[in-house]
Amino acid sequence: MAEIAIRKLNKSFGETQILDQIDLTVRDGEFMTLVGPSGCGKSTLLRIIAGLESQTNGQINISGQPVDQLRPKDRNLSMVFQSYALYPHLTVKENIATPIRMRSYRWYQRLPLLAQLLPGAAERQAGIDSKVAAVAELLQIEHLLDRRPGELSGGQRQRVALGRAMVRDPAAFLMDEPLSNLDAKLRVHMRTEIAQLHKQLGTTFIYVTHDQAEAMTMSDRIALMMDGKLLQVATPEEIYRNPVDVRVAEFIGSPKINLLPGEVNHAGRVVVCGCPLRVATQPGQTHIRVGVRPENATVCRVEQGDIQGQLIYLENMGAEFFAHITIDTLAEPMLVRCDVEQGQQLVLGATVGIRIKPKHTLVFDQQGRRVASEKVAAEVHHESATA
């Protein structure tokens, strides 16, 4: 149980700045996901929190106590690694027991042979055994306790790694891409399991991933990092609907958001490919980008659409279709979601209209920052011919 507060944290290797002024507070019991493309510094940040690497400057507090001078083992955190990092020469049981043995035993109580002769040895062993058994039961790995990591499948190793992290009630769990070595199906399954585990334990989790789907499905809040900077910290809902930066909008969401180059006319209307949309923002901006998620646009007849284009490909996902529509002046086709009935009626090569939901349209300025926009009232739409 702990709040983890990171203040003005910097990390650089020589000239290269890996982390740039990171400020982040992880609340007690929160599932916080650090997400970003590979090389954005998220794993480095996690290792600095764990004490495995040192920051160039800045401060980390755990439960209000500064931990910058503490060694990893004194920070009372536990960590799950991408490669599981189980001790290959120990059995599953010994692997899980290791953190308690190393922490709660004095060195002479860990000596081989002699340790068993010391007073209280049997009770200590029984204490460990019962803790290991409880963890094994929770993770359903009781039948694996006597095997070695080499004899386990990826998913089983992952559970053992979780067990080793859980066994001693740490202040927080740090997880470094724990699912990325698993196959797709198991990954989706383990996502749910880890999320449930978080609910059961109620401990603070910091979870690092490059997979936005993991971040969206598991977290209480997401911290999105890029190029060593923290771009946005928000709930999955908020970060999806209200990204503060075009890079956030691009990174979150699958399939990717459509980004259309545009401009703002003198009346403050957003214009894409020469067609004014029903979206208004601050006038006087050129070179804006308009973000439209595939589900916030619909395919319609040409005369009803805000813009028009040619349908070049239909992606059938089973429960929905994604229409790829090329628009004359744009390099990339625009992706629009349609439901099954509509998707089946669409004809490849046809010219179709695209109607964009103004309420969910995101406008970004030249620097990629989000700017406020609003829906233009319906009556203005009819007068727009003059605009």
Partner 1 sequence: MNRRPSLLFRLFRHLVLMSGAMIMLMPFIWMLLTSLKPPDEIFTSELTLWPQHWYFVENYTEALTRIPLMKFLLNGIVVTVTIFLCQVSIAVPVAYALAKLRFKGKKTLFAAVLFCLLIPPQAVSIPWYLLMYQFGWLDSYMALIAPFSISVFGIFLMRQFFMTVPNDLIYAARIDGFSELAIVWKVMLPTAMPALVSFGIFSIVAHWNDYFWPLIVLNSPDYYTPPLGLVNFRNDDTGNDYGPLMAAATIVITPLVGAFLLAQKRFIEGITFSGMK
- The CA angle 65-68-70, to the nearest 5 degrees, is 85
Based on CB atoms, which residue is closest to partner 1, 151 or 315?
Answer: 151
Residue 175 Cβ vs partner 1, minimum distance, rounded to whole Å: 12
- 250 touches 256 (CB < 8 A): yes
In SS3 terms, 201-268 reads as HCCEEEEEECCHHHHHHHCCEEEEEECCEEEEEECHHHHHHCCCEHHHHHHCCCCCCEEEEEEECCCC
Based on CB atoms, which residue is closest to partner 1, 14 or 318?
Answer: 14
- Encode 320-347: b = buried (16+ Cβ within 10 Å), e = exposed: ebbbbbebeebeebbbbbbeeeebeeee
- 187 touches 210 (CB < 8 A): no
Residue 217 Cβ vs partner 1, minimum distance, rounded to whole Å: 25
Based on CB atoms, which residue is closest to partner 1, 124 or 375?
Answer: 124
Based on CB atoms, which residue is closest to partner 1, 96 or 246?
Answer: 96
Tell me how far apart the alpha carbons of residues 134 and 187 are, in angstroms, rounded to a whole number: 24
Q: How far is CA 301 from the centre of its chain?
A: 38
Residue 165 Cβ vs partner 1, minimum distance, rounded to whole Å: 9
Residue 306 Cβ vs partner 1, minimum distance, rounded to whole Å: 51
Based on CB atoms, which residue is closest to partner 1, 157 or 324?
Answer: 157
Phi, psi angles (nearest 5°) of residue 290: -110, 120
Give me the residues that bind partner 1 (CB under 8 A), please: 47, 50-52, 71-73, 77-79, 81-89, 98-99, 102-103, 164, 176
Based on CB atoms, which residue is closest to partner 1, 78 or 281?
Answer: 78
Residue 371 Cβ vs partner 1, minimum distance, rounded to whole Å: 43
- 19 touches 10 (CB < 8 A): yes
- 163 touches 148 (CB < 8 A): no
Residue 26 Cβ vs partner 1, minimum distance, rounded to whole Å: 18
Residue 146 Cβ vs partner 1, minimum distance, rounded to whole Å: 17
Helix (H/G/I), strand (E/B), else coil: 331: coil
Based on CB atoms, which residue is closest to partner 1, 2 or 327?
Answer: 2
